[in-house]
C-alpha cells in the first residue's frame, strides 16, 4: 500500500498539483477563500504545541549550556545601553580575560534583547526571546516557503514538521539545539527564524526582480544575527541565477544587486570585524576536529539516508517525506525552476557541511573559513529537507485525497462534489496524518517534558544552593580586586555544581569575573586560559586570580587564606594577587592569533610567572619594542602600591613603585583598543605573555591608567547600512512603477 502510494504520488504529481514546486497555481489555490485558511490552522497548531510543551523555557534560571554566555551578553548590553554606550564599543570583561566580544561575535540578538531588558529585565527578556522564537518557528517556515513559491499545503506541511526535527548532532535547526538541556546556540535561533525568509525573498528577487528590498533585509538580518547561517543566505543568492539559462545576464545582475545591498547593509558589523580580525583568536583546541572541519560527505550522507539528520531515535517520518519530495523535484528538474532551487540548496548545504574533511584546502575559498565550524552547515540540509518534506507530504496528501474522493463518489447516494464525501475524505486524511505524526509527537513530548523537569530542578537549586553561594559572590564582586577560579571543565570543576550547573558557569550567571569557563570568546587569552595550571602559583598572578572557590573540605592547590565558608562552598584568597602587577621582561616568544595558546604553554608551565618575570610577544611577524628592554637582574622590579579596577566599564588604574625599568601588566587580553596614560601622558601599550596588555615604565613611582576605547566608526557605518536598506526598497518601488507602465522586466 505504502509503495503503491509513493509511486502514484510521483507519477501523478505533475497533473495533480504543479504548484508543489512552484508551477502555475491550480484553480483551487487561485480562488479566493473566506475565513481562515485551513493551512494557517495547521501552522497555528504547531505553534500552540511548542507554546505548551516548551513553556518551561520562559523561566529564567542558571543555564547549563552556552545560553549562559548569551544571557550574560544580554545583561551587559542592557547595562551599557542604559548608560548611553554602545555595547559594540565596550570591553566585555567576564570571559577569557575580556575582549571586545560585541565586535568579534554576532551581537545583534544580544543588543536587541538588551534593549527589551531595560523594560522587563535582561534575564526575563532573554528567556522570553528564546521561548517565543522557538514557538513561532513554524510561522517563519510557512512564510518562507510561500515566498519561495510553494503551495499553501506544501508550506503548511513543512511548518507543521518544523518543531519535530531531531538530529544525532543536535546543533541544527531543531529545538534541542536551544533548550536548557541542549547546546544553547541562541544567536543561531534568531538567524534560524530569518533564513527561510532570506531564501524565499532572494529567490523572488533573482528570478523575477521582485521583493528586492525584502531580500536585502532578510539576507542582511541573517548575516548580522549569525555569521555561519549568513553564509547559507549569501551563497543561496549566488546559486539562484544559474538555475535557468533564460535571462542569465539579468538574473546575475539582480543577484549582484541583492549581494551588494547586503554587503553595504551589514557593513556596520562586517567592517569592524574584518579590521580587527588579526586580534581575534582561532580556537586552537578544536582545530582539525570534525567540529571545525565538518564530518565529511560519507558520514553526512549516511546520516541523511538513515534518518539521523531529521528523525534521530524514532521512525524516519520526516526523512521519508523529504525523500518523496526529492523524487518529485528531481522529476521536475527540467520544467520547474523551484524544484531546481530546492534541490540545489540541499546540494549546496551537503557540500558545505562535508567541509575540509572531504574537500580539504578548497574550503579556503570561503572568506573567514578559518573561523567557521563547518558542521554547523547541516542546518542548511535540515531547512532544505523541510521544504522537500513539505512538498512530499502535500503530494502524498493530495493523492490520498483524490483516491478517497473517487472511492466514495462511486456510491449511488454521493456525487463527486458531495459535501459529505469531502467531509468524510477530509476526516480520513486528518486521521492518517495524525497517525503518521504519532512517532514524532511522542518523542517531542517526552523530550520536552524531560527538559521542563530539568529546568524546574535547576530553579529549585538556584533558590536553595544559590542562596548559600550569594554572599561569597557578593564579597568578590564588592572587592573588585581580582578574578575567581572555580575549576575547569576537565577537572574537579565539572562536578562542583549548583544543581546541575557547574559553579564556574553559575559564577558567570552572576556576572562575576572568572577564569575556568574556557573557549567561549575570541579573546587572545581564551586559548592560553585553557592551559591554566592550577598548581603553578605564578599562573594565578598571570590571570589575575585572587580567589579560589572550592568544595568545602578540599584544600586549594596553592597556598591561600580561607576567607569564607557557606555550606558546601568555601572561598580562599591569595592576598598578593590583583588585576595589575609589575614584572621584568626576560625574553620573547613569537605567536599569532592561530597559535598563541600553544606557544604560551612553556611559559605557563615554568617558574617565570612566579618570579615576576614575563616575555615580550612578537605578534604576527612584528618585533615587540619590549624586546629591547630585557633585564638581567633577578627579583621583582617593583610593587603595586594601590589599584582600582572597573573592567566592566573598560577601566583600571594603579600606582606602582619600581626600582628599575619594568612593565606594568593589566590582567586583560591585549587589544589595540586599549589606551594607557602613564603619569598623565599617553603611552602605546604592548603585548606580554601570554597575550596581556602592558606598558613599559622607568624607575620611580607612577600612576598608570588603562582605558578601553573601541572601534569609533559605528555611527557612520550605521548610517551607510540604513541607507542601503532604504535604497533596496527604493529599487523595489521603482520596478513596481515600471511594471505598472508595462516597461518592467520579464520574470526569468
DSSP-assigned states of every residue in 246-290: TTHHHHHHHHHHHHHHHHHHTHHHHHHHHHTGGGS---SSSTTSH
What span, in angstroms and rounded, lies between the C-alpha atoms of 114 and 76? 8
What confidence score (pLDDT) does residue 741 get? Answer: 57
> What pLDDT band is residue 14 in, cutting at 50, 70 and 90?
very low
Mean pLDDT on 16-39: 47
The residues that bridge with 547 in the sheet, in sequence order, are 484, 573
Full-model pTM: 0.93
What span, in angstroms and rounded, lies between the C-alpha atoms of 160 and 177? 18
Whether residue 634 is predicted with pLDDT greater than 90 in this model: the reply is no
Mean pLDDT on 169-174: 94
Give the cell for residue 429.
Answer: 486524511
Give the cell for residue 192.
Answer: 534560524
What span, in angstroms and rounded, lies between the C-alpha atoms of 124 and 78? 12
In sequence order, what DSSP letters do the residues of 666-694 get, joined into one string? EEEE--TTEEEEETTEEE--EEETTTEEE
Whether residue 665 is predicted with pLDDT greater than 90 in this model: the reply is yes
Whether residue 746 is predicted with pLDDT greater than 50 in this model: the reply is no
What confidence score (pLDDT) does residue 463 get? Answer: 97
Mean pLDDT on 362-391: 93
What confidence score (pLDDT) does residue 364 get? Answer: 87
What confidence score (pLDDT) does residue 736 get? Answer: 78
Whether residue 258 is predicted with pLDDT greater than 50 in this model: the reply is yes
Whether residue 8 is predicted with pLDDT greater than 70 in this model: the reply is no
Closest by CA position to 269, among listed 328, 324, 226, 216: 226
pLDDT digits (tens, 9 = 90+) for 232-255: 999 999 999 999 988 999 999 999
What span, in angstroms and rounded, lies between the C-alpha atoms of 589 and 624? 10
> What pLDDT band is residue 632 in, cutting at 50, 70 and 90?
low
Residue 681 CB coordination number (10 Å) = 7
Mean pLDDT on 311-317: 96
Closest by CA position to 111, among listed 144, 140, 76, 157: 76
What span, in angstroms and rounded, lies between the C-alpha atoms of 631 and 646? 31
Closest by CA position to 579, among listed 530, 657, 640: 640
Mean pLDDT on 80-101: 96
What span, in angstroms and rounded, lies between the C-alpha atoms of 662 and 660? 6
Whether residue 641 is predicted with pLDDT greater than 90 in this model: the reply is yes
Closest by CA position to 321, among listed 199, 157, 147: 157
Whether residue 7 is predicted with pLDDT greater than 60 in this model: the reply is no
For 207, phi then psi, to 5°, come to: -75, -40
Percent of the chain predicted with pLDDT > 70: 92
Mean pLDDT on 599-611: 95
Mean pLDDT taken over the chain:
91
What span, in angstroms and rounded, lies between the C-alpha atoms of 315 and 325? 18
Cβ pair 628, 554 in contact under 8 A: no
> What are the Cα distances from residue 370, in Å, to 98, 101, 286, 593?
22, 18, 11, 11
Whether residue 1 is predicted with pLDDT greater than 70 in this model: the reply is no
Closest by CA position to 199, among listed 256, 247, 156, 258: 258
What confidence score (pLDDT) does residue 35 get? Answer: 53
* Angle formed by the axes of helices 212-225 and 186-208, nearest 10°: 160
pLDDT digits (tens, 9 = 90+) for 458-474: 999 999 999 999 999 99
> What are the Cα distances from residue 264, in Å, to 233, 254, 260, 718?
15, 16, 6, 10
Whether residue 717 is predicted with pLDDT greater than 80 in this model: the reply is yes
pLDDT digits (tens, 9 = 90+) for 268-307: 999 999 999 999 999 999 999 998 999 999 999 999 999 9
Cβ pair 62, 498 in contact under 8 A: yes
368: which DSSP letter? Answer: T
CB within 8 Å of 202: residues ≥ 6 apart: 215, 218, 219, 233, 236, 237, 240, 258
Q: What angle do CA 692, 696, 701 make, to 5 degrees?
A: 115
CB within 8 Å of 33: residues ≥ 6 apart: none
What confidence score (pLDDT) does residue 428 get? Answer: 81
> What are the Cα distances from residue 262, in Å, to 239, 507, 708?
15, 39, 30
pLDDT digits (tens, 9 = 90+) for 484-543: 999 999 999 999 999 999 999 999 999 999 999 999 999 999 999 999 999 999 999 999
End-to-end Cα, the chain, rounded Å: 40
Residue 498 CB coordination number (10 Å) = 23
Whether residue 36 is predicted with pLDDT greater than 70 in this model: the reply is no
What confidence score (pLDDT) does residue 400 get? Answer: 87
Output the CA torsion 439→444→445→447 (10° steps).
120
Mean pLDDT on 552-575: 96
What span, in angstroms and rounded, lies between the C-alpha atoms of 85 and 428? 60
Amino acid at each position: 500500500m505504502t509503495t503503491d502510494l509513493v509511486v502514484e504520488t510521483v507519477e501523478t504529481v505533475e497533473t495533480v498539483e504543479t504548484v508543489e514546486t512552484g508551477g502555475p497555481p491550480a484553480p483551487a489555490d487561485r480562488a479566493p477563500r473566506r475565513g481562515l485558511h485551513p493551512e494557517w490552522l495547521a501552522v497555528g497548531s504547531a505553534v500552540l504545541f511548542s507554546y505548551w510543551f516548551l513553556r518551561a523555557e520562559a523561566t529564567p534560571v542558571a543555564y547549563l549550556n552556552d545560553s549562559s554566555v548569551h544571557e550574560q551578553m544580554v545583561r551587559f548590553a542592557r547595562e551599557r545601553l542604559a548608560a548611553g554606550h554602545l555595547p559594540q564599543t565596550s570591553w566585555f570583561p567576564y570571559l577569557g580575560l575580556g575582549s571586545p566580544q560585541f565586535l568579534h561575535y554576532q551581537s545583534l540578538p544580544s543588543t536587541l534583547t538588551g534593549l527589551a531588558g531595560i523594560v522587563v529585565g535582561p534575564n526575563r527578556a532573554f528567556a522570553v526571546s528564546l521561548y517565543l522564537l522557538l514557538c513561532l518557528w513554524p510561522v517563519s517556515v510557512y512564510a518562507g516557503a510561500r515566498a519561495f513559491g510553494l503551495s499553501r499545503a506544501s508550506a503548511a506541511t513543512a511548518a507543521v514538521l518544523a518543531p519535530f526535527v531531531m538530529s544525532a548532532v543536535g546543533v541544527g535547526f531543531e529545538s534541542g539545539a536551544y533548550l536548557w538541556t541542549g547546546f544553547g546556540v541562541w544567536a543561531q535561533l534568531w538567524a534560524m527564524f530569518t533564513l527561510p525568509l532570506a531564501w524565499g525573498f532572494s529567490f523572488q528577487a533573482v528570478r523575477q526582480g521582485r521583493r528586492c528590498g525584502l531580500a536585502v533585509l532578510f539576507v542582511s538580518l541573517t548575516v548580522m544575527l549569525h555569521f555561519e547561517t549568513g553564509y547559507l543566505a549569501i551563497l543561496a543568492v549566488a546559486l539562484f541565477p544559474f538555475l535557468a539559462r533564460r535571462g542569465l545576464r539579468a538574473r546575475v545582475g539582480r543577484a549582484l544587486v541583492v549581494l551588494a545591498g547586503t554587503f553595504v547593509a551589514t557593513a556596520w558589523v562586517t567592517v569592524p570585524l574584518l579590521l580587527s580580525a588579526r586580534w581575534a583568536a582561532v580556537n586552537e583546541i578544536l582545530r582539525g576536529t570534525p567540529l571545525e572541519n565538518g564530518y565529511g560527505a560519507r558520514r553526512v550522507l549516511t546520516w541523511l539516508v538513515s534518518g539521523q539528520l531529521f528523525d534521530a531515535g524514532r521512525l524516519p517520518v520526516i526523512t521519508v517525506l523529504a525523500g518523496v519530495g526529492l523524487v518529485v523535484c528531481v522529476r521536475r528538474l527540467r520544467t520547474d525552476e523551484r524544484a531546481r532551487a530546492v534541490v540545489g540548496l540541499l546540494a549546496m548545504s551537503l557540500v558545505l557541511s562535508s567541509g575540509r574533511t572531504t574537500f580539504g584546502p578548497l574550503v579556503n575559498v570561503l572568506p573567514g573559513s578559518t573561523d567557521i565550524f563547518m558542521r554547523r552547515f547541516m542546518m542548511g540540509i535540515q531547512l532544505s529537507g523541510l521544504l522537500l518534506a513539505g512538498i512530499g507530504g502535500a503530494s502524498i496528501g493530495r493523492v490520498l485525497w483524490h483516491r478517497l474522493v473517487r472511492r466514495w463518489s462511486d456510491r449511488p447516494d454521493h456525487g463527486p462534489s458531495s459535501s459529505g464525501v469531502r467531509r468524510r475524505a477530509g476526516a480520513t486524511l486528518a486521521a492518517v496524518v495524525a497517525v503518521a505524526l504519532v512517532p514524532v509527537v511522542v518523542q517531542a513530548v517526552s523530550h520536552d517534558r524531560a527538559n521542563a523537569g530539568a529546568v524546574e530542578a535547576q530553579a529549585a537549586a538556584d533558590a536553595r544552593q544559590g542562596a548559600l553561594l550569594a554572599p561569597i559572590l557578593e564579597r568578590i564582586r564588592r572587592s573588585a580586586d581580582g578574578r575567581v577560579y572555580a575549576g575547569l571543565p576537565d577537572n574537579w570543576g565539572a562536578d562542583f555544581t549548583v544543581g546541575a550547573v557547574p559553579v564556574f558557569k553559575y559564577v558567570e550567571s552572576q556576572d562575576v569575573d572568572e577564569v575556568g569557563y574556557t573557549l567561549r570568546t575570541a579573546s587572545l587569552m581564551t586559548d592560553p586560559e585553557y592551559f591554566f595550571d592550577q598548581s603553578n602559583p605564578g599562573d594565578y598572578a598571570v590571570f589575575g586570580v585572587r580567589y579560589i572557590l572550592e568544595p568545602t573540605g578540599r584544600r586549594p592547590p596553592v597556598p591561600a587564606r580561607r576567607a569564607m565558608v557557606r555550606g558546601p562552598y568555601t572561598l580562599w584568597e591569595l592576598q598578593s594577587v590583583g588585576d595589575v602587577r609589575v614584572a621584568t621582561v626576560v625574553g620573547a616568544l613569537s605567536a599569532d592569533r592561530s597559535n598563541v595558546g600553544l606557544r604560551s604553554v612553556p611559559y605557563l608551565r615554568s617558574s617565570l610567572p612566579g618570579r615576576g618575570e614575563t616575555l615580550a610577544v612578537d605578534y604576527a611577524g612584528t618585533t615587540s619594542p619590549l624586546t629591547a628592554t630585557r633585564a638581567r637582574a633577578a627579583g621583582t622590579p617593583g610593587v603595586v602600591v594601590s589599584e582600582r579596577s572597573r573592567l566592566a566599564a573598560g577601566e583600571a588604574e594603579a600606582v606602582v613603585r619600581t626600582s628599575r625599568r619594568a612593565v606594568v601588566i593589566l590582567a586583560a587580553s591585549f587589544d589595540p583598543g586599549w589606551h594607557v596614560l602613564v603619569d598623565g601622558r599617553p603611552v602605546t601599550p604592548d603585548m606580554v605573555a601570554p597575550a596581556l596588555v602592558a606598558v613599559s615604565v622607568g624607575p620611580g613611582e607612577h600612576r598608570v591608567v588603562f582605558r578601553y576605547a573601541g572601534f569609533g566608526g559605528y555611527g557612520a557605518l550605521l548610517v551607510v547600512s540604513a541607507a542601503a536598506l532604504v535604497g533596496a526598497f527604493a529599487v523595489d518601488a521603482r520596478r513596481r512603477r515600471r511594471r505598472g507602465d508595462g516597461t518592467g522586466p520579464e520574470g526569468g
